[in-house]
Amino acid sequence: MTYDLFLDESCHLEHDTASVMTVGYVMVPHLAAQELRISIRNIKEKHGMSKELKWSKFSVAKLALYKEIVDYFFATPIDFSCVLVKYKERLDHSDFKMGRHDNYYYRLIFHLLHPMPESGQYRIFIDLKDTRGKEKLKKINEYLNEKCNGEPPFKHFQHLRSNENEFFQLADFFIGAVAYKSRLKSSEQLPHNTAKMDFIAYLELKSGFSLDESTPPWETKFKISDHQPKIRQ
């Protein structure tokens, strides 16, 4: 079986103001990907949405759309997984012998992808969003190959544009919701958005999990791995 993974991240820059960072993916069976993607697009069109689905562009007027997409996700073989790093300001990269923050990002990608919940081969896609995209994709490939002793199950790496692919958009939306819930519970002064909290409550109800905590290790449909760096001495 071949699976397609669409990777995205939120608040991943070292010196932004966020107290958390999140990396995650949406995974779909390759043979069903086209049908699933078209179905999500049809739901968007049903609700009059022609633009990209993004957490940063959350609209209270589209709450019914967001909830219908959640319902569809849980009725399909699409899976979601993410690593949630809390208290990002505590990160001391010397603890990991990894050096730069960028290298820590690649370590998180490995943690996110290893081990995969299903046996098979995997095609990895990342959003073509900046000038360093090619370098990032190359580094992910090299790091996974090294950590898997030259025999990784990841056989294809490619850039795509998120505004042209609903799976990236779904990953962005779920990752955004996870990060938002944790940022609200931290010391950050975020404006309280009632509609966003309504959506988060609905996603938590459907998944059965709190978005700011780890899910059980055996969870595969909607998985969150909570990582909290130790306090610097």
CATH number at residue 23: 3.30.420.10
Q: How distant, in Å, are the alpha carbons of 80, 93, 113, 159, 200 from that of 123?
A: 15, 29, 12, 11, 29
**Does residue 136 have a pLDDT over 50?**
yes
Report d(CA 226, CA 212) in Å as an integer. Answer: 8
The DSSP code sequence of 91-113 is --GGGGT--SHHHHHHHHHHHHH
pTM of this prediction? 0.87
Q: How far from the centroid of its chain's Cα atoms is residue 204's Cα?
A: 16
- Report, as an integer, the average pLDDT of 128-149: 74
232 located within any domain: no
Q: How many domains does the chain have?
A: 1
Report d(CA 221, CA 232) in Å as an integer. Answer: 34
Q: Is 8 helix (H, G, I), strand (E, B) or coil?
A: strand
User: Per DSSP, what are the bridge partners of residue 117?
Assistant: none
**Does residue 94 have a pLDDT over 60?**
no
- Report, as an integer, the average pLDDT of 123-146: 77
154 located within any domain: yes
- Residue 196 lies in domain: 2-227
pLDDT value, residue 17: 60
pLDDT band at 68 (very low <50, low <70, confident <90, very high): very high
pLDDT value, residue 92: 53
Lowest-confidence region among 5-19, 30-44, 89-103: 89-103
233 located within any domain: no
Percent of the chain with pLDDT over 90: 49
Average pLDDT of every residue of the chain: 84
Closest alpha carbon to 137 in 147, 148, 127, 152:
127
Written as one letter, the residue type at 216 is P
82 located within any domain: yes
pLDDT value, residue 189: 67
193 located within any domain: yes
- Report, as an integer, the average pLDDT of 20-32: 93
Report d(CA 20, CA 14) in Å as an integer. Answer: 10
**Does residue 45 have a pLDDT over 70?**
yes
pLDDT value, residue 58: 95
158 located within any domain: yes
Phi, psi of 91 (to 5 degrees): -60, 125
215 located within any domain: yes
pLDDT value, residue 13: 47
34 located within any domain: yes
Percent of the chain with pLDDT over 70: 83
- Report, as an integer, the average pLDDT of 19-26: 88
pLDDT band at 105 (very low <50, low <70, confident <90, very high): confident
**Does residue 97 have a pLDDT over 50?**
no
- Which residues, in sequence order, are CB contacts of 73 under 8 Å at separation 6+? 80, 170
| Residue 107, both tokens | 């370590």
Question: Count H helices, E strands: the chain?
Answer: 6, 6
The residue with tokens 């959640």 is 70
pLDDT band at 96 (very low <50, low <70, confident <90, very high): very low
Q: Of how many residues is the chain composed?
A: 233
